[in-house]
Amino acid sequence: MTSSPAGTARRDDAVSSPDDTGRAAPLLEVRDLRVEYRTSYGLTNAVNGLSYAVDRGETLAILGESGSGKSVAARAVLGIIESPPGYVTGGEVLFDEVDLLRLSRKQMRRVRGERMAIVFQDALTALNPVFTVGFQIAELFRVHRGLSKSDATAKAVELLDRVRIPNARNRVHDYPHEFSGGMRQRVMIAMAIALEPDLLIADEPTTALDVTVQAQIMALLAELRRDLGMGLVLITHDLGVVAEVADHAVVMYAGRGIEYGSIERIFESPAHPYTRALMRSIPRADQKGGRLEAIDGAPPNLSNIPSGCEFHPRCPLATQLCVTDRPEVVEVAPGRRTACHYGEEVVKGER
């Protein structure tokens, strides 16, 4: 697909074009995305054929352990992979049917902030410590909207108030270190939604926050998604924080998606042994006492991914077929897809 600067502009006539089935095309569609890092230590395959789609007004959760490639994939979508050493080596990232991987840096700058935004997992390092939070938010309006300093600051106050920063009119002049972890995360969210993007990527937005603040941040993201009608991609290793806010989920392992489905179906009947193991490791209110089940072993080194199924060294169901043959992602039930040779049996509870 060819693209031009005009191709990234907000459409006034329609939000998206219908495909051959009559269904509107997804807001974002990632197809067979591949990212590798080339270092003196060798080649690391950080993303190995990830695919997913998210519609407007929908929340997609990308789940998996640390090191599974979730954050790298998000950076590739936004075009902020540091290169070298990182390189996008394959796939497509279709945003409103425009392949972002074919855009120039100048064109991508028009997309980021204006139409796509990200909330990073470490707000303290993501915010500039030498500028007030108000200055950093107002800068978006000065650069992208051409507002005066006073008008841009007024917008910053409105946004801080929108994300429920107490006493926003005075706190707009404070520096990042003067806020708590939860408040800094709200500032990051305010910056991300400033220009009302069509898509927001939240990368581990509740990391290092206590349970009460986690719930507040997730509720805020869900509220903003509804109010703005945007798509939300929520990246996390904490399955508990997405149970009530996500519509669909992708479970990642060793750089690729190994299970896809609605959040309800994945929680009720996982179709992949890895997903099932993740579910068993979650503390549950209805199961008091006893020990949580841990997943044996550790995630694979992405510089030396095992042959066959990437999960087979840790899988209690692995057979010789799993050791030698890499399973493709196939449908094992209506609306359920997984990369497991025994996925149909797993989802039915027969294995």
* pLDDT tens string 308-317: 999 999 999 9
- 241 vs 177: which has the higher pLDDT: 177
Report the C-alpha gap between 210 and 31 in whole angstroms.
35
Please check the confidence at residue 192 and state whether its pLDDT lies above 80: yes
Min mean pLDDT across 95-104, 158-167, 202-211, 272-281 is at 202-211
Predicted pLDDT of residue 287: 66
Nearest of 302, 236, 257 to residue 36 by alpha carbon? 302
- 334 vs 30: which has the higher pLDDT: 30
List the alpha helices (DSSP H) in 53-132: 70-78, 105-111, 123-126
Q: Tokens 């179709």 map to which residue? A: 271
Between the two ends of the chain, the Cα-to-Cα distance in Å is 43
Predicted pLDDT of residue 109: 86
Nearest of 204, 237, 198 to residue 218 by alpha carbon? 204
Nearest of 106, 95, 111 to residue 33 by alpha carbon? 95
Please check the confidence at residue 11 and state whether its pLDDT lies above 60: no
Q: Tokens 């950076």 map to which residue? A: 75
Please check the confidence at residue 16 and state whether its pLDDT lies above 60: no
Q: Which strand ranges, in their side-by-side order, compose the sheet holding 330-333?
A: 116-119, 199-203, 231-236, 59-63, 248-253, 256-262, 336-338, 330-333
Checking DSSP bridges between strand 336-338 and strand 231-236, what pairing results, if any?
A: unpaired
**pTM summary value:** 0.86
* pLDDT tens string 236-268: 887 877 888 899 999 999 999 999 999 999 988
What average pLDDT does this structure show over 277-298?
77
**Beta strand ranges found along 40-127 (DSSP E):** 42-54, 59-63, 86-95, 98-99, 116-119
Provide the pLDDT confidence category of residue 215 given band limits of 50, 70 and 90. confident
Q: Answer whether the bond into residue 197 is a cis peptide, omega within 30°.
A: no
Min mean pLDDT across 35-39, 121-125, 207-211, 295-299 is at 207-211
* pLDDT tens string 38-96: 988 889 999 999 999 999 999 999 999 888 999 999 999 999 998 899 999 999 999 99
Average pLDDT, the chain: 87
Residue 77 neighbours by CB distance under 10 Å: 23
Q: Is 124 helix (H, G, I), strand (E, B) or coil?
A: helix
What average pLDDT does this structure show over 276-305?
80
Q: Is 54 helix (H, G, I), strand (E, B) or coil?
A: strand
List the alpha helices (DSSP H) in the chain: 70-78, 105-111, 123-126, 133-144, 149-162, 168-171, 181-193, 211-228, 263-268, 273-280, 320-324, 343-347
Please check the confidence at residue 3 and state whether its pLDDT lies above 50: no
Contacts of 322 (CB under 8 A, 6+ apart): 308, 309, 312, 315, 341
Longest CA–CA span in the chain (Å) reads 68
Please check the confidence at residue 26 and state whether its pLDDT lies above 50: yes
Chain centre to alpha carbon of residue 210: 21
Please check the confidence at residue 5 and state whether its pLDDT lies above 50: no
Query: Helix 133-144 vs helix 149-162: angle between axes, to the nearest 10 degrees?
Result: 120
Q: Answer whether the bond into residue 84 is a cis peptide, omega within 30°.
A: yes
Please check the confidence at residue 285 and state whether its pLDDT lies above 80: no
Checking DSSP bridges between strand 116-119 and strand 59-63, what pairing results, if any?
A: unpaired
Checking DSSP bridges between strand 86-95 and strand 28-39, what pairing results, if any?
A: antiparallel
Predicted pLDDT of residue 231: 95
Please check the confidence at residue 318 and state whether its pLDDT lies above 70: yes
Nearest of 162, 159, 140, 160 to residue 149 by alpha carbon? 140
Predicted pLDDT of residue 168: 94
